[in-house]
Amino acid sequence: MRIPRTALAAILIAAPLAHAQPVPEPDASGLFFQNSANQTQQATRLETEVSIDVFGIVARVAVKQRFRNQSDSWIEGIYVFPLPDDAAVDELTMVIGTRRIEGEIQEREQAKQTYERARAAGQQASLVEQERPNLFTTSVANIAPGEEIAIEIGYLQTAGYDQDEFSLRLPMTLTPRFIPDAPGSIPDGLRGLQSAPRAPARAPSVADANRITPPMLPSGGSATHSATISISVEAGMPLSEIGSPSHQLTSTWDGRVYELTTGDRPVAMDRDLIVNWRVVPDQTPRVAAFTETLDHDSYVLLMFLPPTTAELPQPTARELIFVIDTSGSMGGTSIGQAKSALRSGLDKLNGADRFNVIEFNSDVQTLYSAPVAATVQSVQEARRFVSALSANGGTNIAAAITAALSQPVNVGYLRQIVFITDGSVGNESELFGMIQRDLADARLFTVGIGTAPNTHFMRKAAQFGRGAYSHIAEADQVEPGMRVLFDKLEHVALKDIELSWPEAFEVYPDRIPDLYRGEPVVVAARAFGPLTNAISLNATGTVGPYSWTQRIDVTPENSAGIASIWARRKIESLLDRKLDGEAETLIREAVIDVALTHGMLSPYTSLVAVDKTPSLTRNAELVREALGNMKPAGSEIGALLGIMPNTATDARWYRLIGASLAALLLGSFLVSRTNARSSR
Amino acid sequence: MNKPRRLAKYGLLVGSVTAVAALAVGYWIPVKAEMAQRLLARAWDETLAGQTDAKPWPWADTSPASRLSIPSLNASWVVLSGASGRNLAFAPSHMDGSAEPGERGLSVIAGHRDTHFEVLERIPVGTEIFVEDRHSFTHHYRVVATEIVDSRQTSLRLDADTPLLVLVTCYPFDAISAGGPLRYLVFAEATGS
């Protein structure tokens, strides 16, 4: 029976490897899918080397993915992998033996054709495409049997800064994303399997669902998907601490640069890498500015801390709506952390606050029909409600957002929504649109849970929700994480922040968002022509009833990568305009223009590298293999998503052994009797 | 009696004991699976009678989750909660974290291909499946598809928008040794309760 392969896509996250079969082209939906029952082992082994160089607040990261073909077939490896959601990816190098082939930037469709032509011609080629701001696909064609091809991807990002702490996050794996179906319909996966001819496929809510749901591998202890990490941090100022809450790294200091490394023991790629550092108190500079001159233009990256008048407590009465994600992807340690974060939030309520609790998976359940006063009884009741929660079902975030934003309004209360989730959804832009449209006077704060949350969703949801986001990766971060969050919730935000750039500068973000306690202003600017003199800016803003002014001086120096960071921020800003209803064709054109100029990956541009030297003749068919991602550490979804249980007993084996042994014994007994008789 | 003969005799003895033991284990496994179901049936009746956490035997660390029936195959089992290897020896088991019967999302019940779920080899599309939950509600499902997948390469999505059921067992049904990568999946969708 030939079942339409796309049909099960809604249920099976699958991309099995083919074994010595003709190369299937992706079908119309772009699904990498081939099933075969005679497979023996995963053909491609993946190792990753990460090297991060931090200078000030700018990090240059090189991610080297080594694809080793362990099979006898020629392989095309396809790997969907995450990067930080603000990564400015501007380098691709393909390494074959000692040869290095530089990649080039092309429009997405053109790059794909370049790659496919090379693949068909038997040339070694690689393609890196952006699926989401934090999700990418590497394709590597014509890896010969036993051969290795390495892909080096280079990107820039800025270190995060919040509450006197710098941090960098490098995602290593992803939490499987929920792709919602149209409400009330049978998932495509089952429709169409019932009878032929197949009903026309309903348009899925996420057109590229197949491209963002790679297969999952069990976490840890695997022969593939290991990483070595080395980080060097030159902060430019004395540090009081530096370390990683996520990984065991050995660190050394030579008086100027901190080096952190996994040493020669690779780590499993089952959790995000996090590195944090703190500057010695009192030495924290309030302004950091970096400049670069590239192709006669100047670029500035500016980060500064607004004045500490932000100590003003929130004067208005608050109404907190806690929203907790109890979908299946939260299974394992995540749900426990989410529940304790929520309990910690409930404990921090004071008598004047009002609150409500909403839990969601496939369905939304609200504790009270409208927010209630935080009395001893209501908080107690909420704690009981939270304790009974468990994780299963889908991630219907849209319904939860609607439920939170449509709670009856109490005049005179500031509504703050605390959204606790792993953000494992594929329909991000639809959700951002909803938040922007329905936010009104509420503020949305996201709390990312788990070892591999969707940081893109967390950050942008908080941006459109005019709040802030925070992460809780481990159980011991719940209390400090919630304390930081409540610090933000309990203090007045800084508003109306403006910078008096000279006219020639093009600045992103074009509007500076409200800031919460401990958050810096970060902007990137460009001017035509070189920057010869220092420039002075006035930063102004309001906090509660007060206004403030701060003078900032930017002195020209030369840091590499500032231009790329500016370009990346411009692209993000352009893409955000989609939500304001600007035509996609115009946005696309503008993004392609920036991306091609700066050689940068975007939704509309890809990096492609082709080895022009003719490869060994491929004398067999190419086998396509989709590489998986490791189940995030602590997550239980792997029990379901990755690993189906062993569902056979050893009964037959024992019977076979027993019966064979008995037959053997009987046989030898008969033989020995015959021998004994004949020798008599 | 010379030495080689004595050795042969020993070998014969050890071999016979091993053979008998292996055969005993081999035939005991299905018997255990069958007997466990009888004990579980009693625990299930107690569960339906309102007893929470009814234990099938005093030292059990699991409790019945539902009763799964396929009338056309003349099959019915009490399902345990938690698809651990130990539970599977006694009963088909509901995987933690997957949807409860009747709830939106994918409900996953796994069973051994050579004991309880042996009969799934001949389950046609359209077959009716009933799942009775702890509150005596019976959820009706209809088989819509069967599929053979490689468990190393394939995952199940639990987040469907409608109530779905999947029965998981090993494949091929007649393989001698356990631990193979292939799984036989029976998908069913809810038709009402």
Produce one character per residue of B55-81: b if its CB has 16 or more CB atoms within 10 Å, e if not: bbeeebebbbbbbbbbeebebebbbbb
Last residue of one domain, picked from the residues A470, A489, A508: A489
Domain that holds residue B174: 3-192
Question: Are A546 and A417 found together in one domain?
Answer: no
A597: tokens are: 């100029």
Q: Is the peptide bond before A16 cis (omega within 30 degrees of 0)?
A: no
* Confidence at residue A431, expressed as pLDDT on a 0 to 100 scale: 92
The length of chain B in residues reads: 193
What is d(CA A23, CA A621) in angstroms, rounded to the nearest whole number?
A: 7
A548, pLDDT greater than 90:
no
* Confidence at residue B65, expressed as pLDDT on a 0 to 100 scale: 87
* Confidence at residue A54, expressed as pLDDT on a 0 to 100 scale: 94
Instruction: Report the range of poorest mean pLDDT among A13-17, A514-518, B9-13.
Output: A13-17
For residue A210, being part of any structural domain is answered with no
A23, pLDDT greater than 60:
no
Question: Are A483 and A536 found together in one domain?
Answer: no
Per-residue pLDDT of A78-107, as tens digits, reads: 888 999 999 999 999 999 989 999 999 999
* Confidence at residue A310, expressed as pLDDT on a 0 to 100 scale: 52
Question: Are A437 and A480 found together in one domain?
Answer: yes
Q: Is the ipTM of this complex over 0.85?
A: no
CATH code of the domain in which B118 resides: 2.40.260.10
Range A456-475 average pLDDT: 90
CB A472 within 8 A of CB A449: yes
Q: Which amino acid is at A191?
A: R
Locus of tokens 């209501």 = A378
Residue A31: pLDDT band with limits 50, 70, 90: very low
Last residue of one domain, picked from the residues A489, A511, A531: A489
CB A177 within 8 A of CB A214: no
Residues of A in contact with B180 (CB under 8 A): 648
B67, pLDDT greater than 80:
yes
CB A111 within 8 A of CB A43: no
In sequence order, what E strands does A195-296 have?
A: 216-217, 226-234, 239-243, 250-253, 258-261, 267-268, 273-279, 287-294
Residues of A in contact with B93 (CB under 8 A): 645
Per-residue pLDDT of A106-131, as tens digits, reads: 999 999 999 999 998 889 999 999 99
Last residue of one domain, picked from the residues A489, A523, A546: A489
Q: B138 by DSSP, 3-state: which?
A: strand
Question: Are A507 and A359 found together in one domain?
Answer: no
Residue A354: pLDDT band with limits 50, 70, 90: very high
What is d(CA A25, CA A20) in angstroms, rounded to the nearest whole number?
A: 15
A643, pLDDT greater than 70:
no
Per-residue pLDDT of A560-592, as tens digits, reads: 999 999 999 999 999 999 888 889 999 999 999
Query: Per the CB < 8 Å rule, is A645 touching B144?
Result: no
Q: What is the 3-state secondary structure (H, E, C) of A100-154?
A: EEECEEEEHHHHHHHHHHHHHCCCCEEEEEEEECCEEEEEEEEECCCCEEEEEEE
Residues of A in contact with B178 (CB under 8 A): 646, 648-650, 653
Domain count, chain B: 1
Question: Are A471 and A503 found together in one domain?
Answer: no
A199, pLDDT greater than 60:
no
Residues of A in contact with B79 (CB under 8 A): none
CATH code of the domain in which A540 resides: 2.60.40
A473: tokens are: 């990766």
Q: Average pLDDT, whole number, for chain B?
A: 83
CATH code of the domain in which A450 resides: 3.40.50.410
For residue A442, being part of any structural domain is answered with yes
Instruction: Report the range of poorest mean pLDDT among A102-116, A211-225, A414-428, B38-52.
Output: A211-225
- pTM of the prediction? 0.73
A596, pLDDT greater than 50:
yes
The one-character DSSP state at A635 is B
Per-residue pLDDT of B165-190, as tens digits, reads: 889 888 888 877 777 778 888 888 88
* Confidence at residue A42, expressed as pLDDT on a 0 to 100 scale: 63
Residue A652: pLDDT band with limits 50, 70, 90: confident
What is d(CA A1, CA A140) in angstroms, rounded to the nearest whole number?
A: 32
Instruction: Report the range of poorest mean pLDDT among A345-349, A430-434, A632-636.
Output: A632-636
- Taking one residue from A and the other from B, the number of pairs with CB-CB distance under 8 angstroms is 247
Question: Are A544 and A482 found together in one domain?
Answer: no
Question: Are A318 and A435 found together in one domain?
Answer: yes
Question: Are A392 and A433 found together in one domain?
Answer: yes
Q: Which residue of A has its CA nearest to B147?
A: A3
CB B186 within 8 A of CB B167: yes
Query: Per the CB < 8 Å rule, is B161 touching A185?
Result: yes
Domain that holds residue A468: 314-489
For residue A321, being part of any structural domain is answered with yes
Question: Are A372 and A513 found together in one domain?
Answer: no
For residue A52, being part of any structural domain is answered with no
For residue A448, being part of any structural domain is answered with yes
Domain count, chain A: 2
